Amino acid sequence: LGQTPPEPPFERIAILGLGVMGGSLARALAALERRPYVTGWSPDETERTAALAAGAVSAAPSEWRASLQDAELVVLAAPLRASCDLLAEVVPAAPGSATLSDVASLKAPLARVAERAGALDRWVGAHPMAGSEESGFAASRADLYRGARVWITAHGDAKERVARVQMLWHALGAEPVAIEAEEHDRLVAVASHLPQLAANALALVLEREGVEPAQLGPGGRDMTRLAGSSPEIWRDLLEHASPVLVAGLRELSAEAARVADLLERKSIDALVELMRSTRTWRKS
């Protein structure tokens, strides 16, 4: 007697945005044994055609409203500002019973839009800690979310919907964890946006010093991979950047200067101690 796979929590899903995030979600859903009916939309016709050709979506109408028909779940997978704009329009356009979600990496701006649109009981935000420095459907992959932490943010009124959204991410092999929107955005500013800008700052220095990417070892490559991230995706996130991120950058600046001082003074024991403490943290 084999185990029956669980009912998919949503049978009809619309994904608005078919880049790395939306495209990977569509591919992952298409790979499920009990595959939901997924419609996809992108403002870019080539992305819609690519998603259809890859079998990631069953339909990809050119007008986003058409993709919402009978949807039980609508996922906004656009850059932050476009997701906010779309959410305001999707609330009245989607079936009244549909759960509304997104995959943006800041949650408070979307929570505010959901509140203004009177849809806090329908919105369940999600932020998968996964992505790529590449962009577009071509960079999407079915296993992008496997093993990834997915932060889930919702108002108390959306409780039953939260359970279903979590179930969906579980089915894709991800690890959903509930968190409050403001707390999420503070955490992500430090855990995700600060490393991104640190990579940009480091890359600027390496370029100025005449280092070519081909001269980097695996460490240098890892430390600059994010320097290749899409500036367009980041534009919106930077516009919503919190003071926490600014403070983190100033701390990083101070730490880099302190390490330079220690090195100049040949305070090797202090540097070794510093490396010991970061090693302990990193392996914890």
Does position 98 interact with its own copies (CB under 8 A)? The reply is no
Q: Is 88 in the site for its own copies (CB under 8 A)?
A: no
Closer by beta carbon to its own copies, 93 or else 272: 272
DSSP letter string over 129-141?
Answer: S---SS-SGGG--
List the interface residues with its own copies, window 179-208 (CB under 8 A). 187, 190-192, 194-208
Three-state DSSP class for residue 177:
strand
Please say which residue, 73 or 199, places its beta carbon nearer to its own copies: 199
CB of 23 vs its own copies, minimal distance in Å:
17
φ and ψ of 156, to 5 deg: -55, -30
- Other Cβ atoms less than 10 A from the Cβ of 73: the count is 23
Span near its own copies by CB under 8 A; candidates 29-37, 86-94, 163-171, 246-254 = 246-254
Does position 78 interact with its own copies (CB under 8 A)? The reply is no
- 53 part of the interface to its own copies, by CB under 8 A: no
How far apart are CB 245 and its own copies at their closest, in Å?
7
Minimum distance from residue 210 beta carbon to its own copies (Å): 8
What are residue 78's phi and psi, to 5 degrees? Answer: -115, 170
Q: Which residue of 84, 90, 130, 165 would you call a contact of its own copies, by CB under 8 A?
A: 130
Q: How far apart are CA 91 and CA 114, in angstroms?
A: 8
103 makes contact with its own copies (CB under 8 A): no
Q: DSSP string covering 93-121, please? A: HS-TT-EEEE--S--HHHHHHHHHTT-TT
State which of residues 8, 9, 79, 131 lies at the interface with its own copies (CB under 8 A).
131
Q: Which member of 53, 66, 93, 268 binds its own copies (CB under 8 A)? A: 268
Q: How many residues bind its own copies (CB under 8 A)?
A: 84
What would you report as the CA-atom Rg of the chain, rounded to the nearest whole angstrom? 21
**Burial class of residue 52, CB neighbours in 10 A (0-12, 13-18, 19+):** middle
Asked if residue 215 binds its own copies (CB under 8 A), the reply is yes
* Continuous H helices in the chain: 20-30, 45-53, 64-67, 80-93, 108-116, 159-171, 181-188, 194-208, 218-224, 231-239, 243-264, 268-282
Closest CB to its own copies among 81 and 164? 81
Pick 89 or 222: Cβ nearer its own copies: 222
Are 61 and 67 in contact by the 8 Å Cβ rule? The answer is: yes
Distance of CA 54 to the CA centre of its chain: 22
* Distance of closest approach, residue 206 Cβ to its own copies, in angstroms: 6
Q: How far is the CB of 141 from its own copies (least distance, A)?
A: 13
Report d(CA 172, CA 29) in Å as an integer. Answer: 7
Residue placing its CB nearer to its own copies in the complex, 38 or 152: 152
82 touches its own copies by CB under 8 A: no
Rule CB under 8 A: is residue 125 a binding residue for its own copies?
Answer: no
138 binds its own copies (CB under 8 A): no
149 binds its own copies (CB under 8 A): yes
